[in-house]
Chains A and B, each alone.
Chain A
Amino acid sequence: MSLTPFTGTVTAAALIANFDDKSTTLTAQALLGRKDANMFHRRAALGAADNVSLRSVDFVAPDDLELRILRLTVLDGAAGRTVTGTLTQTDGDTSFLLDKTLSVSVTTVIGTAQASLDKRTTSGDRHRLLKGVRYRLTLSTSAGPVTAAQITAVLRTARRLA
């Protein structure tokens, strides 16, 4: 940010430069609080028959939050298993997710594998988790136990008036 003093003469260029500089800076600063935060669930020894309560976490959206990325990271000692992470409404309804299924799958390798559902593109569906609605992140596997799996919803937060 810069300030061009008038030094005794008020010129159009200096007026424009000063006002332009302040308003541009303020526009940029208005976006500063918009950052991505993580809601995640990690399960060690994820089994194919695990009850859903053991392999999920529920949360009530604390604000209107844009879903940016659904990320699945898996650490395993065997290859070829299919691990899936999903984001749903806890009550089973789909109305607050545009009736879409949000999921990401990965095939395990010996070591770490990861996959992402990227919702940041300018085209396609955009999903906003609504304040006060209870959502669920769930892990599942075709075979287990998977050493460790983590499903992460990367959510955009922003500053609010109240």
Chain B
Amino acid sequence: MSTVLVPYTFRTGAILDGEDVNANLRGIARDIKRNLDRRYTYWDVSIPLDGMTNALSSVLRSIEFKPPADSAVVIVGADLSIYSASGVTWTLTGPTDWDGCSVDTAGATTEARDNCAQPIRVEDTAAATFLLAASGASTITRGTLTLSMRSDRGSQPASAPDFAPYVPTPVDASTTGLAAALDAQLVAAQNAVLRDAAAAKDYRCECILVRDLAAAAVASWTLPSGAGRTAVITRGYICATAADAVTVAVTGTSLLLTGTGTSNLVSDSGTHSSRSDDPTDTADDTTATITAGGAGPVELAYAFIWWS
């Protein structure tokens, strides 16, 4: 049995009170607005920094971050956590005018931490690149860059339906052609309901990353997908000696990325079918793998798996 949430119902043979109809139209409008008002989704993505050294090229010390096509996210905060031999300052910089983070290392098993709450909007047309640099010789024993991001499903490309509510036009005693007037109202309401459904891109992402992956080695992650993941996109990156390569695979759909030198970042993206599985068992698990090809270790390979 369906759920009725409007205040009034109607019976054959009863007097049709226009105010009852109007109250129901306003109820629909209220519910549409209630749905549209819930537009933000917050999520964190953790990016491992283990093994990064000050001597690496700038590309090997940076992370490129870019949302899927026709979307944008706001990074509402960044948290930098580093464990490394004491006496060195690691600095995180990003887009122009972003404050960034700075930590003074305190030991290989002692955390040095900083965070930045300055928001940055990152569009699909221009990636944000986060770069780490050290004041002296240093190797990050264990490190994590956590980006807190906010996805706004109301931020729609120009080609998408307007993210707009339904504004009812009430009927009253002066309304002529009641059926046609109600038809028009219900069509307008239905169009707003469809707009709410179309604006269903609540993007989150997960990061897989590996450094110095030996030839033919495979790193794998199990990502329980839960129910109803849609718009799954993988953005893969490699920075490696020319001709070394990785295959980034997410449950059967793979990207082949070939390095062109350790000062160059090569990227590609691919889409995947929607995912649903019971995360308490291994059947239908979403699995992500990075497999090294070529002759030598792959210096850096990572991927962001975006989904809604």
Contact = CB atoms under 8 A, between A and B. Distances in A.
Contacts of A51: 108-109
Interface residues of B, number: 74
Interface string A6-42: 1111111101101111111111011011011111111
A40 B45 CA distance: 10
A149 to B, nearest CB: 11
Contacts of B159: none
Given A6-B182, A12-B12, A148-B220, A24 B146 contact: no
Interface residues of A, number: 65
B41 interface: yes
A22 B178 CA distance: 19
Contacts, number: 200
Interface string A63-77: 100001101010100
B42 A63 contact: yes
B206 A5 contact: no
Contacts of A59: 44, 46, 79, 146
A98 interface: no
Interface in B142-160: 142, 144, 146, 148-149, 153
A60 interface: yes
A22 B179 contact: no
Contact of A11 (B4, B12, B197, B221): B12
Interface in B187-236: 187, 189-190, 193-194, 196-197, 200, 202, 204, 206, 219-229
B4 A29 contact: no
A73 B2 CA distance: 40
B43 A157 contact: yes
B104 to A, nearest CB: 16
Contacts of B141: 53-54
B44 A39 contact: yes
Nearest to A69: B279
A71 B279 contact: yes
A23 B2 CA distance: 9
Interface string B227-264: 11100000000000000000000000000000000000
A10 B178 contact: yes
Interface of A: 1, 3, 5-13, 15-16, 18-27, 29-30, 32-33, 35-42, 44, 51, 53-54, 57-63, 68-69, 71, 73, 75, 112, 114, 116, 118, 148, 150, 152, 154, 157-162
10 contacts: A10-B178, A15-B24, A29-B193, A32-B200, A38-B224, A54-B141, A57-B46, A157-B202, A160-B42, A161-B37
Q: Which 9 A-B pairs have the closest CB atoms?
A: A36-B226, A6-B179, A159-B38, A12-B10, A23-B5, A63-B42, A62-B42, A24-B2, A116-B280
Interface of B: 2-6, 9-12, 14, 16, 21, 24, 27-28, 31-32, 34-35, 37-44, 46, 76, 79, 81, 83, 108-109, 111, 141-142, 144, 146, 148-149, 153, 178-180, 182-183, 186-187, 189-190, 193-194, 196-197, 200, 202, 204, 206, 219-229, 279-282
